[in-house]
Structure 1
């Protein structure tokens, strides 16, 4: 059956993949739609169209289905909250892999923070700098600011990796940039909530919502010069944090290059951290 996204009876496939004609289909796989059964309106409209797999889901009977976005659909970038009519639900036997198109891991880079609270605007400034330069295909750089609900929905939109960029008090010298890859405990214990948007809480809410979560979540954190609270009213970054923006931009660039090498590579990740 081909049609719009169903009403929630499906769940993410355990390994995020389906095998089609000997090819592994996963988020980022390119396909051509070959609907079966014929003459329904969706089949007629989608037959022969190229599309990108957003995610693989499993129904209550164990059957696998692909959620796809059609390439020339002008509404495909509206996001998870606007999926009806812009994400389609097809069986694996209703697609053919496009030759030469290896699965690409979609990456979300999320700038987080409140620009009115001094150093808390670090993640927003990093996102702004990244948006001034070209990014690899499949990478979305978004300034979320304090829009926690938007970030929660974005995390459920089929990304392979999410890179969160934020100010975080971790006991280092001001301006120290750290890379944290959360383990099973997520970001609990990392103090990042000076702006009303706690990424640890957003991750928990997104996971509890039952949608697909990125298999890999990273935090690029910068040590603020002092405590950031709701009573902090300052439009400028402190000198150490402002000086760290270029370092964080370069670190995100390296992470994106590494992600290209990780595409299609299986394996879990234990929590780890590295100071740059």
Structure 2
């Protein structure tokens, strides 16, 4: 996308750095490994501070509502659960113009359909970020409403975060270990949905049916 004009600043070493960096975590916290992207953003914000031109966004399942953030970004980092057909917990990175193709290769949910459209619209409007990195994780389990990340996917978060922070450092995001506590209004994930609280408060299978209400299921199915 070299023909697309973007704002930039110059690094003392002569490299051109993006003037606006957007970090997006997309997915649905309520469906087990679908929450991978949002959990990465949550952890990134809890552990690190960044320069003022860096914006962390819990994109959830907002789809086309995210278009303005993509169009305004000079560099875009995306965390998401992607069905690459690999072993659960496997990470795969994809860059730049290849990202829309991978987002739509094998859709797991409506949020991926929506976000693929966002990227396509950004290209059509000539406002696709100059640099894009997708850090995707192969999920293990999606059909578990109210469930959390499976251990193999949760473990993959550490490597995903390391990859993300390294890229953000290269882009000039100036990541440093967090020193300032987050105010309630600043957190990307509401406290009641934060990973620890979410997992601790989940009802048992006996208390909350996870396969559907038997009153509305077909008899004998």
Deviation, structure 1 residue 242: 0.9
Hey, what does 2:36 align to over in structure 1? 122
Number of paired residues?
A: 168
Cα distance 1:192–1:222, how it changes in 2: closer, same or farther (>3 A)?
Answer: farther
For residue 251 of structure 1, what is the aligned residue in structure 2?
163
In the alignment, structure 1 residue 169 sits paired with structure 2 residue 83:
yes
Q: Unpaired segments of 5 or more residues in structure 2?
A: 174-221
| Cα deviations by residue, 1:102-141 (Å, 9 ceiling, x for unpaired) | 9641211100000111100000000001111212342211
CA distance in 1, matches of 2:57, 2:132: 15
Q: Is the 8 A contact 1:114 1:195 kept in 2?
A: no
| Residue 254 to residue 185, structure 1, CA distance change in 2 (3 Å) | closer
1:27 paired with 2:7, answer yes
**Residue pair 2:99, 2:133 contacting (<8 A) in 1 also:** no
Higher relative contact order (CA 8 A, sep 6+): 2
Instruction: Map 1:40-55 to 2 at 5 A.
Output: none
Structure 2 CA distance for aligned equivalents of residues 238 and 185 of structure 1: 25
Note closer, same or farther for the CA distance 1:145–1:184 as it changes in structure 2 (3 Å cut): closer
Secondary structure in 2 matching 1:173? coil
- Matched residue SS, 1:196: helix
Rounded Cα–Cα distance in structure 1 between residues aligned with 2:22 and 2:52: 11
Bigger Rg, which one: 1
**Aligned partners of 2:50 and 2:105: how far apart in 1?**
28
Question: CA contact under 8 A between 2:80 and 2:136: conserved in structure 1?
Answer: yes
CA separation in 1, counterparts of 2:4 and 2:80? 29
Cα contact 2:83–2:139 (8 A) shared by 1:
yes
Please list every run of 5 or more consecutive structure 1 residues that lacks an aligned counterpart in the other structure. Answer: 1-12, 17-25, 31-101, 262-276
Shift of 1:29: 4.9
Matched, 1:200 2:116: yes
Give me the whole-angstrom Cα distance separating, in 2, the residues matched to 1:237 and 1:154.
27
Report the RMSD for the aligned CA atoms in angstroms.
3.1
Instruction: Tell me which moved more, 174-183 or 239-248.
Output: 174-183
